[in-house]
Amino acid sequence: MAAKTLGVGLIGCGFMGRTHSNAYRRLNNFFPVQHRPVLKVICDTVPEKARQFMEVWGYERAETDWRKLMDAKDIDLIDICVPNFAHREIAVAAARAGKMVICEKPLAMNAAEGEEMVRAVEEAKVPNLISFNYRRVPSISLAKQIVDEGRVGKPFHYRATYLQDWTISADVPQGGDALWRLDIKAAGSGVTGDLLAHSIDTAMWLNGPIRRVVARTETFVKERKHVVSGKVEPVGIDDACMFLAEFANGSLGTFESTRYARGRKNFNTFELNGADGSIYFDLEEPEYLQFFEYKQQQSGRKVESHLTGWRKIHVTNSEHPYMDRYWVPGTCIGYEHTFLNQLADFVAGIESGTPAQPDFRSGLQTQKVCDAVLESARGGRWMEVAP
């Protein structure tokens, strides 16, 4: 029985607000942590949205001004699920108010803002987490385990793609509550911050820091109607981005992301090739991890090369990351569980004193890679990633 309450104030009633709210509600059903999240306040600038969200998800009250949450004595944790432009101000205020902070990715609009957020949480010594939920797909956590066990060996190549197709029509407007991701003033960048930030976080988790990048971005639709102004305005975001990377361990990376890959809805893949093995993941088959293990000898005998090949591991056994918390072997979990696993790790981190990762400092490193990618695309040259 969870003995301590964790008062939650969540800001933002969109897609991410829902994924996080679901995680708070389910935490104690699946994870034996000592804290019990209590959904205290939901906040959104649109009163009707906040009220409806409060009823659907069971929050105690609704607010329209996030500043009110900072003084609320019953709130221990501020969860930031608003567009990127507002992350910095809310996170800094929350840290100064002594609240724990969880923030949706990307950390900020740029690394300078991110630095300020890191300073604020570190000075206040408040637990903090950046929500890169894909780390908590059990197959991706298993990939990390396989790398840490040394089974991939010296890495040579890392290859990531993150493809979607929902902005191909020039009639899709930009801005407002639903389409802020297309508005440079709200999002800071396009696919680089929204999609590649996920790929970069996973890549650096598995394969270490990225040292240098060279990038090319494209904006295919140059003007879109803005939902708020009603006027046709220039599009400032990158619709597509491709970049080459050099990792500090000497391996080479390629990263590709677009919202113009017809038929691809949320196609997030990566492959890592090392001297002793390779791993491959595809979010369209999230319960599988593919692994190729190179061996010359096995059980004292020469390996029968006609029987070697990729293994497709069904990551549903209780020995697999997180899976002992759910159902029986062979049954799957879903997208929403990545947020639940992430929250469980965050809370366990508070309880054990070993903070969960990625924290804001780690999110800042991803932000610095994003900044270098965008700067490289502007200048058409290799950019060092700031240390």
Q: Where are the alpha helices (DSSP H) in 3-157?
A: 15-30, 47-57, 67-71, 87-96, 111-124, 138-148
- Nearer residue to ligand SOE within complex by CB, 139 or 164: 164
CB neighbours of 37 closer than 8 A, spacing ≥ 6? 5, 6, 8, 24, 25, 27, 28, 77, 343
Determine the number of helices (DSSP H) and then strands (DSSP E) in the chain: 11, 19
Rounded least distance, CB 194 to ligand SOE, Å: 5
Rounded least distance, CB 117 to ligand SOE, Å: 18
Rounded least distance, CB 175 to ligand SOE, Å: 15
Single-letter amino acid code for the residue at 98: G
Binding site for ligand SOE (CB under 6 A): 15, 164, 194, 266
Following CA atoms 56, 59, 61, 63 in sequence, which dihedral angle do they give, to the nearest 10 degrees? -80
Rounded least distance, CB 88 to ligand SOE, Å: 18
- Nearer residue to ligand SOE within complex by CB, 15 or 310: 15
- Nearer residue to ligand SOE within complex by CB, 51 or 264: 264
The conformation of residue 226, written as its DSSP 8-state character, comes to B
- Nearer residue to ligand SOE within complex by CB, 5 or 266: 266
- Nearer residue to ligand SOE within complex by CB, 78 or 197: 197
Single-letter amino acid code for the residue at 103: C
Asked if the peptide bond before residue 106 counts as cis, ω within 30 degrees of 0, the response is: yes
Rounded least distance, CB 33 to ligand SOE, Å: 25
Q: What are phi and psi of 97, to 5 degrees?
A: -85, 0
Nearest-CB residue for ligand SOE? 194
What is the rounded distance in angstroms from the CA atom of residue 254 to the CA atom of residue 145? 22
- Nearer residue to ligand SOE within complex by CB, 164 or 251: 164
Q: How does 85-112 read in b/e, with b if 16+ C-beta sit within 10 Å? A: bbbbbbbbbbbebebbbbbbbbbbbbbe
Q: Which two tokens stand for residue 95?
A: 């840290």
Rounded least distance, CB 340 to ligand SOE, Å: 15
Contact 235, 182 (CB under 8 A): yes
Rounded least distance, CB 104 to ligand SOE, Å: 8
- Nearer residue to ligand SOE within complex by CB, 84 or 110: 84
